[in-house]
């Protein structure tokens, strides 16, 4: 079943979709990662293209985040150079 179990697919079907700003806030990652098509491709962020809209499923983003945690932590903005 295309890398998903039956229960994951049934959960995803009833799950509402979120936009780039909501995804950024939920995962505490830079907004441009979700808004910029090149960044989404580079980071392999799971998303859905609905005409001109891009939407995400939070459950899929959470799995993606767990699998790519080190990459995600390294890319956070505002955490470098905080030594006073």
Cβ contact 52:71 at 8 Å: no
pLDDT for 69: 75
Contacts of 81 (CB under 8 A, 6+ apart): none
Q: In the prediction, which pLDDT does 75 show?
A: 61
Q: How high is the pLDDT of residue 38?
A: 97
pLDDT in tens, 45-76: 999 999 999 999 999 999 999 998 766 766 66
Q: Which helix (H) or strand (E) holds 34?
A: helix 31-35
For residue 23, pLDDT over 70 is answered with yes
pTM of the predicted structure, to 2 decimals: 0.69
More confident residue, 9 or 29: 29
């Amino acid at each position: 079943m295309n890398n998903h179990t039956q229960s994951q697919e049934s959960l995803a079907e009833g799950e509402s979709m979120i936009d780039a700003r909501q995804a950024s806030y939920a995962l505490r990652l830079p907004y441009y990662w979700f808004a910029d098509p090149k960044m989404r491709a580079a980071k392999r962020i799971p998303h859905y293209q609905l005409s001109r809209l891009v939407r995400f499923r939070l459950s899929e983003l959470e799995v993606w985040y767990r699998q790519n945690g080190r990459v995600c932590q390294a890319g956070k903005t505002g955490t470098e150079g905080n030594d006073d």
